Structure 1
Amino acid sequence: MIEYTRDAAGIVTLTMNDPDQAANTMNARYVAAMTAALDRLEAEREQVAGVIVTSAKSTFFAGGDLPTMSRARREDAPALFELLGTIKRDLRRLETYGRPVVAAINGAALGGGLEIALACHHRIACDAPDSRLGFPEVTLGLLPGAGGVTRTVRMLGLAPALTTWLLTGKRLRPAAARDAGLVDEVVATPREMLARARDWIAAHPDAAQPWDRPGYRMPGGTPATPELAAQLPAFPATLRKQLKGNRMPAPEAILATAVEGAQVDLETAFTIETRRLITLLTGQIAKNMIGAFFFDMRAVNGGAARPDVQVEPARRVAVLGAGMMGAGIAYACARAGLDVVVKDVSPEAAARAVAEGDPAVLARITPTADVADLRGCDVVIEAVFEDPQLKQRVFAEVEQVLAPGALLTSNTSTLPITGLAQGVSRPADFLGMHFFSPVGRMPLLEIVAGGQTGDAAVARAFDLGRRIGKTPIVVNDGRGFFTSRVIGRFIDEAIGMVAEGVPAASVEQAALQAGYPTGPLALADEVTLTLIRRIHLAYRAAGVTAGRAHALVERMLTEHDRPGRSSGRGFYTYADGRRGRLWNGLAGLATAEGRAVPLGDLQERLLFSEALDALRCRAEGVLRTDADGNIGSILGIGFPAWTGGVLRYAEQHPDFRGRAAELAARYGDRFAPV
């Protein structure tokens, strides 16, 4: 795991290289190897002039051993305490070795990898294309528990450590990490990195950590410093505002660990850090988040739902429609190095696709109103208005000029793909590529296979999605597919609550405190009530129940002309495009006298409405894999991250079926267990 070499100048290089994994992680092999390396360093101290810690992998160190961590139980706490104690003891031995120690960071150093680097006296990062440094633990429901919280606070001070590194989960490029204080130098090549490491060792024979030098003072002061003490109340207040009552124990644990650890000696701070990490590790929320953001994400991006067929990569993409969505899709494709042609009804409309952005990216986009300019495109992505006849017309217009066998895709969010495929001559090459708005920020891509879609088409769409940096889930056809169908239940239940007399503010707060990033009424305004009504009517025409929200939405539109944010009036008021207060006329739209509904019931009505429908999607075959359902629900429709995804929420609930039956008895058969 760790190769130990000493050169003629007495410089020892510890090269981490796990023989059984593509990346180094803080597993049992690492723990044993680091102990052995420190034992040998101490035995050979008189022959050692300095130490370089580096990696033989393309990355430096990937972090903790998440498969093992995810299995931690409460009864494992003593063993975890001993393990973390060993890891910290060895890193402490490294930084107090009495010789200069340099981290030569040749690639990504995340979590435990950055913690190893912080136990060195100097950090030199190679500016590799994929190199990132950071503490992503908070996004997994954890905290940096191998000294990361303690050392970062002592190195930078309480406020910078928390706001830049520990609470954000950011992964910074080497230069940005240098500017933020945790990297000392950035170099261009591995050769230069190792040469600089040797030079630094020669120039700093008495190197030590700042906190091990006489007279050390924590940057910005300790919590006992009057100036910092006066600022401390703002930290939990800001965190509370950010979390909005969300069930996320990791940020609170990080804040408490940082503040408490800053008031005590180093070893006590390490112990505080260890205990809080074990509490998180053995809790359910971390297991949920590791399950989603590590295991499910790896499965989805790794192609678990991609058919195992060889296909040619996309080369030239046609985008039909230069509205906000079409322009976003075009830019994403061009940024990935693809040549893109954007067609709209007029040259002026098509030109919207190249209105702003990086000039080098925009240079790959050709706007046009001429169908002939699409000749040779091997992928077409249609992004016109949600009208089946219009979509079929534009495909009929362009299909004849495309490259033979071109992939045909529609960016519809709700229209059944099998029906749209009737408008093309090659339904096997036709599918849905549902992007989310804004395309530049939303990471999810929902690929929808119609009744006649072939495996090669799915594989081609999946590969294109990965190339443009999206996380592609693959689902089967059905009205609303997966994401639009399930989020529709969320919005419908929320509007239905308002109709039954629940105060609108209580509905919004219930959602935010359950962990949703946006309240359902604010979300309805973003979607527009006009679109919600159109979807209701389409469902009704297809013989599907329109939902509880339909009557109130109709009154909002016909009696009060409040279609949503784009018009400046919806469930909320708006001024200069900014959302204000909830509209004070909502209480008058209730069709029943309001009743007191417990906050827990409001929250679980929203959560269960989506979870039950996701279970139906799985039973009906709309979902192909659970991982697609979990990742799609978090990245695409804002299902609370602490749950680990909509299906995991149902599975890890202590009595999901029993609670669903209770909700059904109180609020209606729509909550009947699946």
Structure 2
Amino acid sequence: MIDYRVDGDGIAVVTWNVPGSPVNTLNDAATTAYVAAVDKALADPAVKGIVVTSAKSDFIAGADINDFLADRSVAGLEAGSRAINRVFRRLETAGKPMVAAINGTALGGGLELALACHYRIAADSPKTRIGLPEVTLGILPGAGGTQRLPRLIGVRAAVPLLVEGTRLPVADALKLGILHAVVPAAELLHKAKAWILAGGKAEQPWDRKGFRVPGGNPGDPGVQEFLSVVIAKVHERTAGNYPAPINILSCVYEGMSSPIEVGTDIESRYFGVTAATVQAENLIRSGFLALNDARKLKRRPAGVPKAEFRKVGVLGAGLMGSGIAYACAKAGLDTVLLDREPAMAERGKVHSDKLLTREVERGKLDAAGREATLARITPTVDYAALTGCDIVIEAVFEQRDIKAEATHRTAEATGPDILFASNTSTLPISGLAEHWPRPDNFIGLHFFSPVHRMALVEVIRGRQTSETCLAQALDFVARIGKTPVVVNDSRGFFTSRVFATYFEEGMALLAEGVNPALIENAGRQTGMPLGPLAVADEVALDLVHKIIVQTRADLGPSYTPPVSAPVIELFVEKLGRVGKKAGKGFYDYADGQRRLWPGLAEHFPRAARQPDVGSVKRRLLHIQSVEAARCLAEGVVESTTDADVASLLGWGFPAWAGGVLSYVDTIGVDRFVAECEALAASVGPRYAPPDILKRLVGTGTQLRAAGR
């Protein structure tokens, strides 16, 4: 766990090597062993100094996240923080020089351990990242990070890193003064030892007589003004949904004017309060652990050999098809991009050219890399070019006959044994699979726009999709660097069906006479990326209209129109305002600006009595969660975790809530059901909670504990 050796020069090398883990974490056992090793070196008069390093490819990744879920009490969390703070403080004042030889990424508690050393030297690697990203998990640094970092580099430099959770390359960390040196990896230990042998002092800057925080203390007028601006920006960005950033600022403000021992006690107090919040639990459970499980393909069927992919076919060179082709080529796969006209196929490749050129301009890619990626994309109109593909992804126009033709022609060119996937966002996969010779080898891969930014792929299993097909599809999604969530076939699947309720409810509120500015502001204040009317414009109202028309034709007498249907029909059929792509929808788009269309007042007169913002926020979030609960009850999603991951990555459901079904537990099942029943009585049956929720009322059981 901790390797200890003393070399001939009297340098003790303490090497972190946590067994059974790909990374070192600050779990209780490893921390105890580390302290024992350092104490051994401190007690040995032959030891001149201590070098701390790692046997893993990275230094120390931070605390063991599972520890935060084991003890949720404020007192327990505060005590844990206070204990590690006292240990680090004792070691940095023990009188022997300590060097952190950072061989790879050092994050969170790993960097805090390094900050408690007297000298920090890192191996020069483009992959290494240095930072305190705790805020992204809804917590704050609890091992001295909020106190040592500002004392080291100043409040102005440290605060943005703390409240944004920035992960710095080593060159940037060196420039800021977090690191003392960056050296070739082969020289790391030699240079670390050399600093000690050259007379490196066992003294921190903040322990020197007359120390002042670089750039001034929080009480200084200039720093005070800076913090006031940051506080305002944090409130604007988080809408009060995330306590961690504000509590970090409180740690800095209160702690920097005190001795460091007092500052770390203040930090521990805020750590306990912050880490015990439901927001922290949600961000850790859903935003970290569940996302990691999805990326590691925990839902992959066992016993199926891993599939290898070399060549991919993409049918349709529109926005989605060209985006998928770009993702495949970026992942190193030869990609055939097919469309009906040569110009269309070429235009799809131009899309990749623009994205790659932008990466070159930003210094993220060199010219040779750009050319190599572009060379992997072959635009064509000839289905014969699909020969040799391991998988073909259909992304043609959202009409059954067009998709059927593309499917038949692909089978003729490739044979039926390759993996065939449809990128449809609404049409049931089982029906589309009828046009492929082997429906067991047909699956849905629903990408999200813009593909180059969106991490999620919704993997839709049809009625006849085999376990082998599902496993291979998951292998493919992972191969191109995306995160899969598996759902079962149904109309709209999971993401489209649930996400649509958000902007549909926005239109329902508009039709009721609610001020559109109130609707949009409430949407953003929930933590959604955009207000519901802006989202509808982004999706495109004519596309939503086509889906309504297609669904009505498919379902016949059993069709129930969405609450938004009259508004959509007005905008598409009578007003010709179809959304952002046309420059006009609920908003007017001109000169790079977006402004609510003044004509909304004419078509939707405002009610004399307006709801409060809290009730609008409640409707916009509750409607998504109650629909997601129906999907869980119907087996469209098989677990609350899958639903949460899909909502976080697919449409940006507020992370503070943990996802669309964790939101039910965040509110409390009893309260959520009662509020939905009240809304069903006053607004409409779309809010009626399903039995899967009503059965939990009064039991004290959370949905995620009861859900599959």
**Residue equivalent to 1:60:** 59
Whether the 8 Å CA contact 1:38–1:90 is kept in 2: the answer is no
- Aligned partners of 2:307 and 2:475 also within 8 Å: no
**Which secondary structure does the structure 2 equivalent of 1:51 belong to?**
strand
User: Contact (CA 8 Å) 1:246, 1:515: kept in 2 or not?
Assistant: no
After TM superposition, the structure 1 stretch with the greater mean CA deviation from structure 2, 129-138 or 280-289, is 129-138
**CA-to-aligned-CA distance 1:357-393 (integer Å, 9 cap, x gap):** 1222212222222222221111111222212211121
TM-superposition CA deviations, 1:164-187 (whole Å, max 9, x none): x21222333333443454333334
Q: Aligned residue for 2:544? A: 532
For 1:446-457, what aligned pairs fall within 5 Å after superposition?
446-457=458-469
Aligned to 1:167, what secondary structure does the other structure show?
Answer: helix
Matching residue's letter, 1:156: I
Q: For residues 43 and 494 of structure 1, what CA distance do their matches in structure 2 show?
A: 68
TM-score, length basis structure 2: 0.90
2:632 alignment partner AA: R
- Pick aligned residue for 2:178 from 178, 182, 188: 182
Question: Matched residues in 1 for 2:608 and 2:502: separation?
Answer: 20
SS of corresponding position for 2:661: helix
State whether residues 99 and 205 of structure 1, in contact with CA within 8 Å, keep that contact through their aligned partners in structure 2: no
Q: Could you give the per-residue CA deviations for residues 324-379 of structure 1, whole angstroms, max 9, x where no partner exists?
A: 22222112112212111111223332223432212222122222222222211111
Cα offset, 1:594, TM superposition: 5.1
Quote the residue 2:128 is aligned against: 131
Contact residue 41 and residue 47 of structure 2 kept, 8 A: yes
Amino acid corresponding to residue 617 of structure 1 in structure 2: C
State the match for 1:518 in structure 2. Answer: 530
2:347 is matched by which residue type in structure 1?
A: R
Deviation at 1:193, TM superposition (A): 1.7
AA in 1 matched with 2:343: E
1:127-156 C-alpha deviation (Å, 9 max, x unpaired): 457533322211111011111111111122
The aligned residue for residue 673 of structure 1 is 689
2:662 to 648, 665, 668: 648
Residue 636 of structure 2 corresponds to: 622
* Aligned with 2:579 (options 550, 564, 569): 564
**Unaligned 5+ residue runs, structure 2?**
357-369, 691-708
Could you tell me the percent identity over the aligned residues?
45
Tell me if the contact between 1:498 and 1:587 (Cα under 8 Å) persists in the aligned partners: no
- State whether residues 316 and 377 of structure 1, in contact with CA within 8 Å, keep that contact through their aligned partners in structure 2: yes
The 3 A distance-change label for structure 1 pair 594 and 307 is farther
Aligned-partner residue type, residue 188 of structure 2? M
- Find the counterpart in structure 2 of residue 302 from structure 1: 296
Deviations 1:486-517 (A, max 9, x none): 00111111110100111111111111111212
Match of residue 508 from structure 1? 520
Task: Pick closer, same or farther for the CA change 1:15–1:536 going to 2, 3 Å.
Answer: same
**Cα offset, 1:312, TM superposition:** 2.3
Partner of 1:121: 118
Q: Does 1:371 align with 2:365?
A: no
Mapped contact 1:378–1:403 kept (Cα < 8 A): no
Map 1:391-540 to 2 at 5 A.
391-402=403-414, 405-540=417-552
Relative distance call for 1:176 and 1:314 in structure 2 (3 A) is farther
Aligned position for 2:32: 32
Change (3 A) 1:177 1:430: farther
User: In structure 1, how many angstroms separate the alpha carbons of the residues matched to 2:442 and 2:411?
Assistant: 11
- Say if 1:251 and 1:495 are closer, same or farther in 2 by CA, change over 3 A: same
Are 1:552 and 1:589, in contact at CA under 8 Å, matched by a contact in 2?
no
Task: Tell me which of 314, 321, 332 is aligned to 1:319.
Answer: 314
- Choose the corresponding residue for 2:166, options 164, 170, 182: 170
Amino acid of the residue matched to residue 19 of structure 1?
P
Does the CA contact (< 8 Å) of 1:62 and 1:112 recur in 2?
A: yes
Change (3 A) 1:54 1:330: same
Q: Name the counterpart of 1:241.
A: 236
Q: 1:329 to 1:187 in 2, by over 3 A?
A: farther
What secondary structure does 1:319 align onto?
strand
Give yes or no for the alignment of 1:278 onto 2:272: yes
SS at match of 1:451: coil
Deviates more, 1:180-189 or 1:334-343: 180-189
User: Which amino acid in the other structure matches residue 671 of structure 1?
Assistant: Y
Q: What residue in structure 1 maps to residue 565 of structure 2? A: 550
How far is the alpha carbon of 1:636 from its aligned partner?
Answer: 0.5
- 1:150 equivalenced with 2:150 (yes/no): no
Question: C-alpha distance in 1, partners of 2:2/2:688?
Answer: 56
* Distance in 1 separating the partners of 2:247 and 2:204: 26
AA in 1 matched with 2:58? T
* Gap regions ≥5 residues in structure 1: none
Structure-2 separation of matches of 1:493 and 1:91: 52
Contact 2:24 2:62 in 1 (8 A): yes
- Whether the 8 Å CA contact 1:289–1:644 is kept in 2: the answer is yes
Task: Check conservation: 2:673, 2:689, Cα contact below 8 A.
Answer: yes
Give the 3 Å change call, closer, same or farther, for CA 374–35 of structure 1 in structure 2: same
Q: CA deviation at 1:438?
A: 1.1
The 1:346–1:602 alpha-carbon spacing in structure 2 relative to 1, beyond 3 Å, is: same
Amino acid at match of 1:206: K
* Corresponding residue for residue 260 of structure 2: 266
**1:280 deviation in Å?**
1.2
Q: Secondary structure in 1 aligned to 2:5?
A: strand
Contact 1:31–1:86 (CA under 8 A) maintained in structure 2: no
Letter in 1 for 2:319: M
Alpha-carbon distance in 2 for matches of 1:159, 1:389: 60
State how far apart, in whole Å, the 2-side matches of 1:304 and 1:78 are: 34
1:7 and 2:38 correspond: no
Structure 1 pair 363/50, CA: closer, same or farther in 2 (3 Å)? farther
Q: Which whole-Å CA distance do the structure 2 matches of 1:449 and 1:288 have between them?
A: 28
Indicate conservation of the 8 Å contact 1:448/1:475, yes or no.
yes
The answer (yes or no) to whether the contact 2:502–2:532 under 8 Å persists in 1 is yes
Structure 1 Cα separation of the partners of residues 126 and 301 of structure 2 = 30
- Kindly report which structure 2 residues correspond to 1:60-79, keeping only aligned pairs within 5 A, or say none: 60-74=59-73, 77-79=74-76
CA distance, structure 1, for counterparts of residue 586 and residue 242 of structure 2: 28
SS at match of 1:526: helix
- Give the number of aligned pairs: 667
Q: 1:493 to 1:526 in 2, by over 3 A?
A: same
Greater Cα offset, 254-263 or 488-497: 254-263
Deviations 1:18-67 (A, max 9, x none): 235443222221332233233223312x3222211112223322212221
Q: Is the 8 A contact 1:124 1:193 kept in 2?
A: yes
Deviates more, 1:337-346 or 1:209-218: 209-218
Provide the secondary structure at the position in 2 that maps to 1:182: coil
Structure 2 counterpart of 1:173, which letter?
P
Q: Which amino acid aligns with 2:686?
A: R
Query: CA–CA distance in 2 between the matches of 1:263 and 1:403?
Result: 73
Query: Structure 1's 455 and 180: CA in aligned 2 closer, same or farther, altered over 3 A?
Result: farther
- Seen in structure 2, the aligned counterparts of structure 1 residues 368 and 122 have a Cα distance that, compared at 3 Å, is farther
Give secondary structure in 2 for the equivalent of 1:573: strand
> What pairs with 1:327-342 in structure 2 (closer than 5 Å)?
327-342=322-337
- Please list the CA deviations of residues 406-455 of structure 1 after superposition, one character each: whole Å capped at 9, or x if unmatched: 11011111111111112211211111111111111111111111111111
Q: Is the 8 A contact 2:156 2:226 kept in 1?
A: no
Question: Within 2, Cα distance between the matches of 1:260 and 1:2?
Answer: 36
Query: Greater shift after overlay, 285-294 or 394-403?
Result: 394-403
Contact 2:514–2:606 (Cα < 8 Å) also in 1: no
**What residue is the counterpart of 2:700 in the other structure?**
none
Whether the aligned pair in 2 keeps the contact of 1:314 and 1:460 (CA below 8 Å) is no
User: Per-residue displacement from partner, 1:571-621 (whole Å, max 9, x unpaired)?
Assistant: 112113x34221122133237845432322211111111111111111111
Shift of 1:403: 6.4
| 1:41 lines up with 2:41 in the alignment | yes
Shift of 1:207: 5.0
Structure 2 contact 88–113 (Cα < 8 Å) conserved: yes
- Cα distance in 2, alignment partners of residues 501 and 594 from structure 1: 8
